Amino acid sequence: MKKNNIVLVGGGSTWTPGILKAMTTHLDAFALNRVVLYDIDEKRQEVIGEFAKILFKEEAPEVELVYTTDKEVAYKDVDFVFCQMRTGGFDMREKDEKIPLSLGVIGQETCGPGGFAYGLRSIKDMIEMVKDVRRLSPDAWILNYTNPAAIVSLALDKIFPKENKILNICDQPVNLLRSYSKLIDHDVNKLEPVYFGLNHFGWFTQIYDETGKDRAPELKEIILKGGFRPVDAEQRDQSWLDTYAMVEDMLTDFPDYLPNTYLQYYLYPEYKLSTSDPKRTRTDEVRAGREKNVFAECRRIVENGTARDSKVVHNDAHGDMMVEVAASIANNLRKTFIVMVRNDGIVSNLPDDSMVEVNASLGSNGPAPYAVGKIDTFYKGLIENQYAFEKLTVEAYMEESYGKALQALTLNRTIGDAKKARKVLDALIEANAEYWPELK
Ligand SMILES: NC(=O)c1ccc[n+]([C@@H]2O[C@H](COP(=O)([O-])OP(=O)(O)OC[C@H]3O[C@@H](n4cnc5c(N)ncnc54)[C@H](O)[C@@H]3O)[C@@H](O)[C@H]2O)c1
Ligand SMILES: O=P(O)(O)OC[C@H]1O[C@H](O[C@H]2[C@H](O)[C@@H](O)[C@@H](O)O[C@@H]2CO)[C@H](O)[C@@H](O)[C@@H]1O
Ligand SMILES: [Mn+2]
């Protein structure tokens, strides 16, 4: 089996320890030669990088581990790029959440005006990353997790239309599947989901088990009777528990399919707004929780010189999935994953150039998506509205157009009012002056 050279972009991310741990536990499936951690923030990178050296010395001593802030080192001769950057960091995520909330609309990392603002920041850095990678590693696979993945994937598809080695993926479907598997006490690896939609905007239509039986009806009944909690509820902050609980409401109103949790912001914007605190948002929870714990634990491990007793770097859906996706491509396994691809007729009554999130078999020639066919009016209407928002957002960036930005935000279901959209847009322009193109 070929041994791969990997670069993890956003090497100082809170998710990096878990991904590295997953790499060390999947070496039989995904062989490694060299792992480079790359970040633009030297301090963050050093803490996680020193931890990584200990982890790899203990769990995978044959693999070379390097960390750097030099992109010439990072992108040279790699087979796979795992990309998970956050342009503007948590300081800007906080503004994405708090500015809209202070103006009376939803403030969220990837949905509504927060996702719009984050999107305009991410696109620039993502274009630069793709160009750098292609200069230094023309054949590398770029596996992107950077959010807002819906907008990033659409922008990259428009800007690099001939690229066939960029794949955008989200871990939310796999994480939901793990939670369903717990509800019916079934091995998650034996469940086969069928899914359609846009990223953070989709539905599971069936959940087949190994006998071919669709378990979705049973799952819906269980959730409608007893609610829904994530598989790792003990490790979740309150906002994620509230989010999962909303699945019961969505199923009560729209019982056809099992919804992605992110649909709560589009279906119940007024309720979500009324239960949000503009002074304390998800960013505050992450800073006080995951970020603080991950960095403290990495420092502790470095001080002790061993990672063997560590809990923070445990595997979850995120790390496992990233490595399994890479393994399926590297070794032409053609396993099925839910990924983002250009529609091109997969959902036959949606625009060809939308980036849909659907099942695909994943091998060395990339994703081979499965056809979905026609979707019903309610779902088509919701998706077309959201897709128009995403497309206008990307066009606003590419054409540096204030008018398109205003159209995008006016269309978004979390706003739906042009005067509100203009207020939020103007406030976000001011906050993002350092990151966005000038919108004229
Ligand atoms: N697709 C998914 O389902 C999924 C799941 C989890 C996280 N994410 C995304 O992964 C990313 C990281 O999330 P996080 O919460 O760990 O954030 P984080 O801020 O902890 O980590 C991101 C890191 O990226 C670095 N960075 C910023 N710009 C960079 C650039 N141009 N080049 C290299 N590094 C850069 C930052 O310095 C930071 O250390 C975010 O985009 C997040 O939305 C996606
Ligand atoms: O608010 P955050 O930073 O905790 O999370 C935002 C991300 O949420 C989703 O990711 C889930 C993931 O699916 C699951 O495996 C688990 O690790 O929790 C994460 C949330 O904490 C979402 O899919 C990502 O796109 C978001 O970035
Ligand atoms: Mn996601």
Number of structural domains found in the chain = 1
Q: Which of 11, 120, 74 is nearest to 432 (CA)?
A: 120
* Residue 324 placed within a domain: yes
Candidate of 41, 86, 293 to mutate for ligand 1, largest count of ligand atoms within 8 Å of Cβ = 86
Q: Give pLDDT, residue 315.
A: 53
Q: Give pLDDT, residue 310.
A: 86
Task: State the Cα–Cα distance between residues 397 and 158, nearest whole angstrom.
Answer: 12
Contacts of 12 (CB under 8 A, 6+ apart): 37, 39, 41, 43, 44, 45, 47, 48, 49
Task: State the Cα–Cα distance between residues 399 and 392, nearest whole angstrom.
Answer: 10
Q: State the Cα angle at 261 between 193 and 102, rounded to 5°.
A: 160
The secondary element (H helix, E strand) that includes residue 64 is strand 64-68
Q: What is the CATH number of the domain that holds 165?
A: 3.40.50.720
**Is the CB of 157 inside a 6 Å radius of any atom of ligand 2?**
no
Q: Give pLDDT, residue 344.
A: 98
ipTM reported for the complex, 2 dp: 0.97
Q: Give pLDDT, residue 314.
A: 55
* Residue 108 placed within a domain: yes
CA 234 → CA 238, 241, 291, distances in Å? 10, 10, 17
**Surface-to-core class of residue 279, CB atoms within 10 Å of its CB (0-12 exposed, 13-18 middle, 19+ buried):** exposed
Task: Calculate the dihedral angle through the C-alpha atoms of 107, 387, 360, 186, rounding to the nearest 10 degrees.
Answer: 40
Q: What DSSP state is assigned to residue 261? A: G
Q: With a cut of 70, list the residues of the chain below it in pLDDT.
A: 312-315
Q: Residue 271 corresponds to which tokens in the numbers above?
A: 């309720």
* Residue 211 placed within a domain: no
Catalytic residue among 39, 171, 316, 320: 171
Tens-digit pLDDT profile for residues 53-97:
999 999 999 999 999 999 999 999 999 999 999 999 999 999 999
Task: State the Cα–Cα distance between residues 83 and 87, nearest whole angstrom.
Answer: 12
Tens-digit pLDDT profile for residues 210-231:
999 999 999 999 999 999 999 9
Q: State the Cα angle at 287 between 308 and 393, rounded to 5°.
A: 115
Q: Give pLDDT, residue 68.
A: 98
Q: Which of 111, 188, 170 is nearest to 382 (CA)?
A: 111
Q: Among this protein's residues, is 256 annotated catalytic?
A: no
Which residue puts its alpha carbon closest to atom 22 of ligand 2? 172
- CB crowding 289-325: b at 16 or more within 10 Å, else e: eebeebbebbeebbeeeebeebebbeebbbbbbbbbb
**Is the CB of 147 inside a 6 Å radius of any atom of ligand 2?**
yes
* Residue 334 placed within a domain: no
* Residue 43 placed within a domain: yes
Q: How far is the CA of 395 from the centre of ligand 3 (A)?
A: 22
Q: Residue 323 belongs to what domain range? A: 4-169+285-328
Q: Among this protein's residues, is 232 annotated catalytic?
A: no
Task: State the Cα–Cα distance between residues 95 and 86, nearest whole angstrom.
Answer: 13
Annotated binding-site ranges for Mn(2+): 170, 200
* Residue 53 placed within a domain: yes
**Is the CB of 86 inside a 6 Å radius of any atom of ligand 2?**
no
* Residue 351 placed within a domain: no
What does DSSP say about strands 32-38 and 64-68: parallel, antiparallel, or unpaired?
Answer: parallel
Output the pTM of the full model: 0.97
Q: How far is the CA of 175 from the centre of ligand 2 (A)?
A: 9
* Residue 425 placed within a domain: no
**Is the CB of 145 inside a 6 Å radius of any atom of ligand 1?**
yes
Q: State the Cα angle at 6 between 68 and 319, rounded to 5°.
A: 100
Task: State the Cα–Cα distance between residues 134 and 138, nearest whole angstrom.
Answer: 4
